[in-house]
Structure 1
Amino acid sequence: MSTQPSLRAHLDDYLALRRALGFKLHNAGRLLGQFVDYLDEHGLHTPTIDSALAWATLPTGASTSWRAIRLSAVRGFAAYLHSIDPRVEVPAAGLIHHGPDRATPYLYSDEEIRALLQEAAALRPALRAATYQTLIGLLAASGLRVGEAIALDSTDLDTEHELLVVRHTKFDKSRLVPLHPSTMGALRRYTGLRDQAHPRPACPALLVSTTGARLLHSNIGLTFTRLARQAGIVRRSAACRPRIHDLRHSFAVATVLDWYRDGADAAAMMPKLSTYLGHTDPKHTYWYLSAAPELMALAGRRLDAHLAGQP
């Protein structure tokens, strides 16, 4: 079968069918679109196990869990295609072993975040620089997921109450995210520059590309990787490399560190942080914090002080 337009059309049908059954498939839809692009670029007309593996193992150095996620997305689509065209090969379940290798969060220091913003400022044209400075600053200051930031529309920025309305998030919930005045000021400056560059918006997105379109997750990842490299930020281990998503982890850890330093009851405050981050359960927030030695040290000192005060 040819990949254009039939394979793309099959992908649209597959996603429509799954979504009609209640599956969101935000990530799967994006990944499978990239898989079809990969097949097109390599002149491949029928998905095979080899082509699925070659694509799933990209980029070089990706974690095993990420490779398994990519292959799993292809496997479901391939099974659907196989029912239409027996030549399509379906990768076996477990072809990529998915062990307990969840990536270790890369916790950015204030200096590293400033270095990222400085490198973003050198991007060209000026709107692209402003967009990435604003995106990185917003993620670092609010703990939003990257996908949530991409999905924001201009109408989701409430300048009167200084907050964002984050709609239909990972668990199909919406929430309000109050912002610091400095963050609001940065967003106001950005929207002013954006509106000058695109007085007639091509889309309702809050953060836009140089063409005025909504940002693409894949492009953000590539640009951030380059900015991190230019800023001298390198991986700390095989499982700990700088990712843009880790700005969210860094925000969570920094928030709890401030609580401990201020003498606040961190345990009592944790449900508030979970709500702010859009977690369904505080246990997910606690996982973020397990990778912060400084936080564990502060918690240990708090426990020592408590025990010392006991009769």
Structure 2
Amino acid sequence: MCSLGIECYIPKTPKSGWQNDYIPYIYTHEEVRIIFSISDNLRILKGMDRTPMFILPALCRLLYSTGIRIGEALSIKNEDVDYENKIIHIRKSKNDKERLAVINDSLLSVLEQYRDYRNKIPFTHVSSPSSHFFLTQLGKPCSYGNILTWFHKILYFGKIPKQAYFNRPRIHDIRHTTAVHTLEKLVKDGMDIYCALPLISAFLGHKCIRSTETYVKLTHEMFPDIIEAEALTSYIFPSQPSKTDDNYDGFC
């Protein structure tokens, strides 16, 4: 068909596996507050000199505030954090595309507090520009597996989720939660949802807006009241005709 001048393509076969049907866990605003509170109140026991626990208050707030991936956060170097201009240079991203993450005022205060505490670690390299921003108490880069272990403890202590279900919450779901909560706020502030999507797409570092469109559905499921039936997006979530409607004749 292509040789005849008819444009066509062969779609890729979807990958098999349960992850293709995975529905992200969207933390509620209250659950986000619980995560912050528990991470603030964790205490290091004697002899736990390899733990990355003391970075969790700053790390959890960074993930929620900026929407960056956990791998991107752990790869941040000291030289990547610009406190004066309130930006973080993300060099190692999933799509091999560098971008900037914005630091708001509250996050800036948290990062500065963490930096001052971290610099008290008795190793000379911890504050060098080429050193990792998040370090263990031994001045070593934090491992992904160790962070997951502590994050699961936070979820356990916070009783999140409070009900049993198939898809367990992950630390990566903080990124999904950030997108949904941001979209919720923009729509509530009066912004058209299709004007908000490009902003969120750039904010998350997506290659195309199609990767961001799934958050429309997630936002509608979490906050159905913020997307009115009369809005531009009403055709995406059409209401079903009622049998009691005077115009309903029983035919589709």
- Please give the alpha-carbon distance, in whole angstroms, between the structure 2 residues aligned to 1:107 and 1:166: 24
Give the unaligned 5+ runs of structure 2.
Answer: 1-15, 46-50, 236-252
Shift of 1:214: 1.0
> For 1:79-98, what aligned pairs fall within 5 Å after superposition?
98=17
- Please give the alpha-carbon distance, in whole angstroms, between the structure 2 residues aligned to 1:291 and 1:106: 10
- Please give the alpha-carbon distance, in whole angstroms, between the structure 2 residues aligned to 1:115 and 1:123: 12
User: What residue number does 2:177 align with?
Assistant: 250
Identity %, equivalent residues: 26
- Please give the alpha-carbon distance, in whole angstroms, between the structure 2 residues aligned to 1:300 and 1:237: 31
Partner SS state of residue 177, structure 1: strand
Amino acid at match of 1:163: I
Shift of 1:146: 0.4
Shift of 1:302: 5.2
User: What residue number does 1:93 align with?
Assistant: none
Partner SS state of residue 215, structure 1: coil
User: What residue number does 2:85 align with?
Assistant: 161
Matched, 1:116 2:44: no
- Please give the alpha-carbon distance, in whole angstroms, between the structure 1 residues aligned to 2:157 and 2:207: 36
- TM-score, structure 1 normalization: 0.62
Higher relative contact order (CA 8 A, sep 6+): 2
Shift of 1:264: 1.0
Q: Which range moved further: 138-147 or 193-202?
A: 193-202
Are the equivalent residues in 2 in contact too, given 1:224–1:244 (CA < 8 A)? yes
Partner SS state of residue 151, structure 2: helix
User: What residue number does 2:11 align with?
Assistant: none
Of 228, 235, 240, the match for 1:300: 228
Amino acid at match of 1:210: Q
Are the equivalent residues in 1 in contact too, given 2:76–2:90 (CA < 8 A)? yes
- TM-score, structure 2 normalization: 0.76
- Please give the alpha-carbon distance, in whole angstroms, between the structure 2 residues aligned to 1:198 and 1:302: 61
User: What residue number does 2:198 align with?
Assistant: 271
- Please give the alpha-carbon distance, in whole angstroms, between the structure 2 residues aligned to 1:299 and 1:230: 34
Of 136, 161, 164, the match for 2:60: 136
Amino acid at match of 2:109: G
Change (3 A) 1:130 1:302: farther
Count of matched residue pairs? 212
Are the equivalent residues in 1 in contact too, given 2:53–2:150 (CA < 8 A)? no
User: What residue number does 2:23 align with?
Assistant: 104
